[in-house]
Amino acid sequence: MDMKNKTVMITGASRGIGAEAARVFAAAGANVALLARSTDALGDLVGEMGKTAIAIPCNVARYGEVSSAVETTVRAFGGLDVLINNAGVIEPISHLTQADPDGWGQVIDINLKGVFNGIHAALPALKAQGGGSVLTISSGAAHGPVEAWSAYCASKAAVNMLNRCLHLEEAENGIRAIGLSPGTVATQMQREIKASGINRVSKLAWEDHIPADWPAKCLLWMCGAEADRFMGEEISLRDEEILRAVGLQ
């Protein structure tokens, strides 16, 4: 997939899937705008990529910061072609009776409002280019309950519907809205899940998780016409057909 002269904005880019996506898209020739709260890690990534990358400190839960990040990206690279909504958290992991209301709400602010903020802020820039892709990291938790993950499950289920609404409203304007459910990925989030010791996912061995560059490579593939049939829906990396199409099997 050739992304030369294309600009990609990635939220949660300081580690995990976001950082690997930055590397994959940069290697494909794209300009990359990297958003995260962790500015030190962003600086290291930009150092790897050089002039085709910029780091933008941003808390996706704050609309003003996201809107400003889009403006900075457009000024730096002349436009925006792809938004990757990757920023997300799972903590605090707790049963409903023990959940801290503020902590529970923070998950919603980042995982759901953060995706809305990205979409709302980026749409004018994407449409100014004649259309573009909005790729959002989903989860199997969007479709089934998981013990002690009520905030995460609720936020991902809502994001799935938000993706479908975006497709309904903006597909005719050239917006390709596609979700990606990667399965369990070897990232810091899985370390947090493991440490909780709650539910079946925390019992998985580390080698059961896929490497973070797998979903990153799938996100690049999703920018191509071959993924058009999934617009308004989700792609699962548990699907062997998808793994073969992306070149992961």
Catalytic residue check, 152: yes
Pairing of strands 234-236, 82-85: unpaired
C-alpha span between 57 and 55 (Å, rounded): 7
Instruction: Please tell me which residue in 104, 116, 149, 152 is annotated as part of the active site.
Output: 152
- Cα separation values, 100 from 43, 93, 96, Å: 33, 10, 9
10 Å CB burial of residue 9 (0-12, 13-18, 19+) is buried
C-alpha span between 61 and 115 (Å, rounded): 9
- DSSP E strand stretches across 71-174: 82-85, 132-137
10 Å CB burial of residue 213 (0-12, 13-18, 19+) is middle
Active-site annotation, residues: 152
